[in-house]
Every structure is written in structure tokens, then in C-alpha cells.
Structure 1
Amino acid sequence: MRKMWLWIGGGTLFFGALVFVNNSNIFAVRPTTRATILAHRGLAQDFDRVGLQNDTCTAARMLPPTHQYLENTIASMRAAFEAGADIVELDVHPTTDGQFAVFHDWTLECRTDGHGVTREHSMAQLKALDVGYGYTADGGRTFPFRGHGLGLMPSLDEVLTTFPRRRFLINIKSNDPNEGRLLAAALRARTAEEAGRLMVYGGDAPIDALRNAMPGLRTMSRSTLKACLFSYVGYGWTGMVPPACHNSIIFVPTNIAPWLWGWPDRFLERMRYVGSLVFAVGPYSGGDFSSGIDTPEDVRSLPHGYGGGILTNDLQTVAQALQRSKGLGDAGPKGGAP
């Protein structure tokens, strides 16, 4: 009996040591470049985030402006790349004339002088709007961007033509599978090199349709992300990467990251091997995944030498914090020119 228990104990120790070595960062290849910065909506106006709901008009609760740029515009994207962003996230809606408008909101009333559902307009109609019309930092007494956003809502084609060598993360704002097919048709019209710089996330149905049409494109939906992370927590200790994690975009909330086997270096190495990109985001609390690494404290909370991606809503603050953080490297640009 004693011999049996010795065998069991020895086997348990051996198994534990094997799991430890397999998931240790000691033998992982640590990236030598700095963290990749993903700028959410480019260089955007910040707003009060307390008590936000899905239908909250964020332009009406803008904080006092620190720069002149409006989200999802060409000027905002150019400024974001110049400030150190490697990838810019943008939002798209199909238009009645077969294009995709780059704009965040489902409806037009919050930010613009227009009315109605965004996708129920032509691109020409959307181009005629003032995208800075609704921004106010003092409860509606003044509107500092009113009159300065005329004609600034771009089409997706305009963005990709302006920045043919830059990387973008495209957000589909609906759960309509047809929108995934329409976007696939639009992206197939680009060169293979341009399409290779693009990633897409959004509702489960359009992402499933898009992935079927363009299996080589990196994509993510809420269901694929949860399947990836939960499955990896379950059996990632083996070194196996769940199929849901392959050729994907993986948002890792900072409060979930410690549960991921081999976080950060071994985890990042495994995801790179299956063609996926990882971005650290803010803590997950049951809502969406739009909270980012937005403060110097958030940057300091990342592991020393972290070489994955960072999603941020405050590019200027985070780029400066990265420059000051020796462990995360230089925050200067590392992407191609527009």
C-alpha cells in the first residue's frame, strides 16, 4: 500500500512539474519589439464614462477637448498613426448605394445634424452631414466642433485608399449575416496585400458569414472570443490551442489574463503560432469589451516586457506612458507610412 501511494505521489509531482514547465515563461520567446497599439476609433474626443448605457449619446457628455480631432475621420486616423498607433479601429455601416460608411452610431442624431438610421442613407447623404454638430462639453451651451465636421464622414473605400499600407480593425455594428457577405465582397475588391492588413470583429452572424467567405481573414465575435478563452482556460495547460483561437483577434481583459496558461509570453507565442493577434483590454465585468488600457496605471499593470497588443481609448496618454515604461519599450511608430 505504501509503495502504491509513493507511486501516486511521484506521478502527481511529475505531472505537476510537466504542467509547470509546459506553461512556464522561462523558455518562451519574448518579443523584442514594444507592445502593438490599437487605437479605438483613432484619435477621439474623450467623454464621461460614468453610467454609460448602450443608447447614451457620448458626444453630449464630451470632456473639455485637448485636441481638434473627431473619431472615425481621415484626419483622426492620420493623427493616430502619427501619435504611435499601429492599428486603428473603425466602425462601418452599409449604405443604400452599396458602400460602407465609417461612423460609430446606429443613428445620426447624437453626433450629426442628420436624422434617422445611419444605414438607411446613401453615402452622398451622409457626406453632406456635419459629424461634429452634437459635441458639447458644457451641457449644450457651446458646441466647439459644430461647423467643422462638414463632409468628414468617410467611406471605407476612402479610408483604405488613403492608407493602403496601414492596418485596421473593422467593427461591424449589426448582427445581420448579409452585412458580413457585403463586407467580404468589398474587401475582396482590395489587393491581397491590403486585405492582409485588415481584421474584422462584430456580431456572431455577420462574422460567421464573413469567415465562411474569407477564411484567411482574422475575425472575432463575442461567441468566438468566449469559446477561445474558456476553452483555453480548460485545457490550455496541455499546450493545445482551441480551434476558436485560430486565425483570430483575441481581446484579453486584464482580470482574466492571470487565468490563461502561460500568460503572457507562452500564451502570446502559442497564439502567434496559430495566426492570431492578442490585445490586452480593460477588466471585463459582463458588458462589452470596449474598455481599454487607458491610463498610466493600466500600462503599469501589464507584465514587465509585455509584447502583445494593447487596445486603448486614450492614445495620447498611453503612448506617453509606454515611452516612460522601459519594460514595455519605445512607443514610437513601427508601422508603414500612409
Structure 2
Amino acid sequence: MPSAQPAETTLPSTATLGTKRKLICFSALADFDGTIFMQDTGHILFNAFGCGSDRREVLDRQIKTGERSFKDVSEEMWGSLDVPFEDGFAALKSDLVIDQDFKTFHDFCRNNEIPFNVISAGLKPILRRVLDHFIGEESSSSIEIVANDAEIDAEGHTWKPQWRHQNELGHDKALSINEYKDQAKLESDDGTIPMIIFIGDGVSDLPAAREADVLFARRGLALEEYCVKNNIKYYPYDTFADIQREIITIAKADDKKTKGQGLPTNFNPRANLWRRASSKTAVPVFAAMTPRDEKMFVWPEVYTEETGKPAQGKTVTV
């Protein structure tokens, strides 16, 4: 049964921000505990029509311990399903609960021409159908879904992911964000660099979070716990109303930055790098600006976690 909805929240205005720099939002959907939805779409299907909750919990632990890759475990989970798509979708309609403030937040993004992208380790046909149902097809059509495709036969005997990337993740969210950056060329007409905002809940979101200027982590869940433990800068949130308020504040503070008044305290240090250069060759210039403990987080491809020193084969002047 769906959990009870939280008490209604008083939302900030969705009026035009009027700030200069372009914003781009990437959000998980429900890869673990829930971002836009409070439940994981795959878990609902696996528990009811596939491997079952006990086996799924074993498989989840195998991912967390590193015993098996996310892609390998996911193929077993999806391969365990034996249900027609429409019957599976009926279960999702019944069991999923959407964040009570997401619709208003999405309207805010559309009103301010902020591209909103769902980035997920799940299957695109399911995610599109779920969004169409819960927020309406017209509103859903403006959301780009960056996820895996799937082959599902008519009887539902075979559910086979078509992975976006040929690596152990199946869908490398960090790579997808960088692909988006390359396609968008990251620069607006007036030459300013867009601000990348990432919204997530689980540790699987961390690779994508590394690519963002601003990270939102749902309060009390795995991503926040990881951020606290590893001293990673983030904004906690309970609903999308919290995110909307913070984005308004951040956008206005960012506008002041162009006038020399400083960045908000929770910006990813990499934001400063993106303001001044678009290439990894700029690391030597800006590495000295980053606290020692954050070097691995900001430039994981350059620094080793164990020592904080440049990885073998890399030359970095600090």
C-alpha cells in the first residue's frame, strides 16, 4: 500500500527568476529509496513478479559489497520478471507515491526554461509510462529521460535491459551527464557556463554528483550519509519544495558572484573550475584552490584516494 503523503507544503513562487546564468537539472527517479518517487520502480516489480524480496535483498547486498557488479545483478533481477508490461504497470500505479511537490517544482523549471532531466539506472519505457501517468503526458514530454532501453516481449516472459554503456554499471550516470555537456557545449549564447544541479538519494548517484556544481541529497538516505561521512558539500532536502527554495537562493547568489560577492558555501569546488575553463588540462591551475581532503572528490581521475597525491602517470602542479 502507498505510504501516507506528508503534510502540504507552502511553496515559493514559480515566477521567473530573472537571473543571468542558465541552470540545468539532473534528477534520479527512484534508484534506491526514492527521489521523485518514494519507492523504487524495479523493486516493486521484482518483489511482486520476479525474484521476490528475499532474493532481491541478497542481490542488493552483493552490489554494495562489490561481490557482483550493478549490471550483472540488474540483469538477474530484470531477467527474473514474468509479467506483461501492462500488468506490471498496474502494480506501479497502485504502489508508487510521487513527491508531493514535484509537479510544482517541474512547473517552476519549465517557467524558467531550466532543462529537467531524469537520469536513472532503470528502464526508459517504465519511467516514461510512470511519469506520463503521474504528471500528465504533456508535462512529462518536456522531461528528457536518460536511462536504459529494454526489450520486453508481448507476454512479459522476457525483460532484457539494453544498456547505455558497456561497463559494469550498465548506465554510467557521470558519463551521461558529460555526454549531455558535450552535446549542449555547456555555453549559453552570452558565453556564461550553465550551472549543473544534481538531485539524488543513493550512493549510485555519487558518480553523477561529482559532475555537478550543486548537489541535493534526500535527507536521511544513503547519499546524504555518504556525503556526511566523506565531508562532501551538499544540500539536504525532504521534498522538492526545499530544492525549489534553495535553487532560487542559489541562482540569486550566483548572480551576485558575477559582481564579485562570492559563491554560496555548499557549491562543489569544481564549479570554480567550470567557470574558468572547460578542459581537464586546467586541473594544474585550479588544484591549489581545492582543500586537500576534497581533491579525490573533485578530480577522481587525477588523484588517488589513499594518498591524496597525483595518480601514477599524471602530472599535477600544486
> TM-score if structure 1 supplies the norm length?
0.28
> TM-score if structure 2 supplies the norm length?
0.29
